Chain A
Amino acid sequence: MSSESIDIGLPKATEPASLAPILGKVARVVFRVLVVCFCLTPFLLVIAISLGEKIEGAAWVWGFEFTHYERFFAGADWPNSYSGIYLQKLWYSLYYALIAAPIAVVTAFPFTYFLTRLTRRAQTVWLIFLLSSLSLSEVFIVMGWDVLLSNRSGLPMVLRELGITDWMKATGWFDVAREWGLASPRDLKFKTSLFATVLTMSYLVWPYAVILLYPALSRLDNSTVEAARTMGAGPWAVMRTVILPTVRIPLIGTTLLLFVFLLGVYVSVTVFADPSQHTLAVSIYGSVRGSTLNAPFGAAQSVILLITAGLFLVLSQILVSYAEKRR
């Protein structure tokens, strides 16, 4: 009797020996192994295969050689001749992302600020709209801009009908447009051009920019803004001295994440960019499944893209932890 009364209140550590805890532990281990299998193995395989050996006219075998990396950095014919064509593709990947990501963040920032000032209900409606646009497949978005920029029913047609094209021809702006690659000898044209590529890419990540900036801006302390206003600061002064300093880190972090996202964009580049200005993503596709069929080289290019993306992700992580430490 007495031993039972002592037992009350203590956890029942000595349950009759059952299989349940052991099974639970086994399930836990199996689950972890599965997560590692699915989320890590593909990346490890890409790295391993990038060192493989391509056999002319056939597939490839496992190996340990750096020829594919050599080819990436110096061309296929190295050391007889040098070609930086793949480095150039990497540069275009960075170049488009470098222009499109800041454009998206700069235009999304004021929008998000206004959005967070709205009522909760209005915010919800906006968020549904933004999330629907964000999740819409790149193929549909490119489809839309393809029509909007097409010669027959898009922006060139609108400008022609409005007489702006003729006005540009009369004033010499048309020649400027030609120099920028935005016109054929007779008419304005946006396919293919840097303008169309960057426009579509910015559009693609714009809702992401809003969603990423949203938490920081909606937690912005309204009282400091109001205090600054009461003390006579104008809207621009408030923006510069109160709002921007507090959201500086999220702004940079968002730009970096969008940048990484844009490195992998495929359809916008194939449709809107000139073939001589295609990116690494397009080249990977060509090597692995497209015309050239060289899996190890495709894998090597993937590794380069992976490292590039990883570097920027690590950078954004460092930024976030730095910001948290200062808090």
Chain B
Amino acid sequence: MTRLHWSAMIFMGLAAIVLAMPIVVVSAAALNGGRTMLFPPEDPTLARFVEFFVSEPVWRTALYNSTVIALGSAAIAVLAAWPMAYWIWKRSDTGSKALAGLAAMPFALPPIVFGVGLGFMWAFTGGLGTIWAAILSHAALFVALPLVTISIGLQSVDRAHLDAAATMGATEGVTFRTIVLPQTLPYTASGFFFAMVLSFNEFIVMFFVSSSAFSTVTLQIFNSLRNGFTPTMAVAAITFITVSVVAFSLVARFGDLPRLMGADQTRD
């Protein structure tokens, strides 16, 4: 491993500062005693945290909705991604690949277009403004993420184990349960966390699907954009960044984050 030049380290340090700057400023703004976002905060207080988590039902309900939609849609996305990733891995035929390509489309194209389309679709089927429609919409939007992580996981399954299982007469089901599933579990979990965190933060698709019937935290902030930001919203930002850091730390703890992101395995 080559040691970095001092100028490279300074560059990385600067990048870290710029990257952290808005997050730090927002986090500090949550301490403001007044209603305006000032930095540094004026007469610091923790009252905004109480407002966000306890006393204001608007934020409490929104946080509850965000959580339900994030967990529900991530679970469905993982369940839907599994067979698609498995078919590609097992047969790698055109049909399976086309299906996976189709499933990746909502994530690749501008979310506002998918949101508009989903809004129409739920209006016709009567699901507009319901939580389950929101869960299914986010599952469709983010199914691409577990699809990618599970595919990476399947490629890492030891072929020797599969051959051994086949020689000993194991059926596809038994092989799947005893070899494939355990070895790909960290990748499945990563896919779940990726989908969960992104769903938690998403609001454009949610805007068209919710149809003002309910709101999530980010959607609530989006809807009050015209009135400006308030310190209570900054508490939401702290909560969300914490959830992301915890989720991705878990991914790193139980899986191999550099490999998941496409790093070369042969090095180190």
Contact = CB atoms under 8 A, between A and B. Distances in A.
Interface in A20-61: 28, 31-32, 34-36, 38-46, 49
A143 B258 contact: no
Interface in A87-144: 107, 110-111, 114-120, 123-124, 127-133, 135-141, 143-144
A135 B113 contact: no
A266 to B, nearest CB: 6
Contacts of A281: 110, 112
A247 interface: no
Given A215-B263, A218-B262, A302-B116, A38 B22 contact: no
Interface string A269-288: 01100000000010011001
A213 B31 CA distance: 37
Interface residues of A, number: 83
Interface of B is mostly: helix
A49 to B, nearest CB: 6
A275 to B, nearest CB: 12
A152 B38 contact: yes
B83 interface: yes
B103 A39 contact: yes
A59 to B, nearest CB: 10
A127 B21 CA distance: 17
A157 B229 CA distance: 19
A145 interface: yes
Interface of A: 28, 31-32, 34-36, 38-46, 49, 107, 110-111, 114-120, 123-124, 127-133, 135-141, 143-148, 150, 152-154, 203, 206-207, 211, 214-215, 218-219, 222, 235, 260, 263-264, 266-267, 270-271, 281, 284-285, 288-289, 295, 298-299, 302, 305-306, 309-310, 313
Given A128-B248, A136-B240, A136-B241, A260 B201 contact: no
B140 A39 contact: yes
Interface stretch (B4-12, B48-56, B176-184): B4-12
B2 interface: yes
7 contacts: A32-B99, A39-B102, A43-B109, A129-B19, A136-B23, A219-B263, A264-B110
* Chain B interface category by residue count: 35 or more
Contacts of A41: 117, 121
B218 to A, nearest CB: 5
Nearest 10 interchain pairs by C-beta: A144-B22, A42-B117, A215-B262, A264-B110, A137-B201, A38-B140, A132-B244, A218-B263, A140-B237, A46-B117
B112 A266 contact: yes
B139 to A, nearest CB: 8
A148 B22 contact: yes
Which of A133, A144, A218, A235 has the largest count of B CB atoms less than 10 A from its CB?
A144
A270 to B, nearest CB: 7
Contacts of A114: 4, 8-9, 11-12
Given A289-B207, A305-B112, A136 B201 contact: yes
B254 interface: no
A285 B9 CA distance: 43
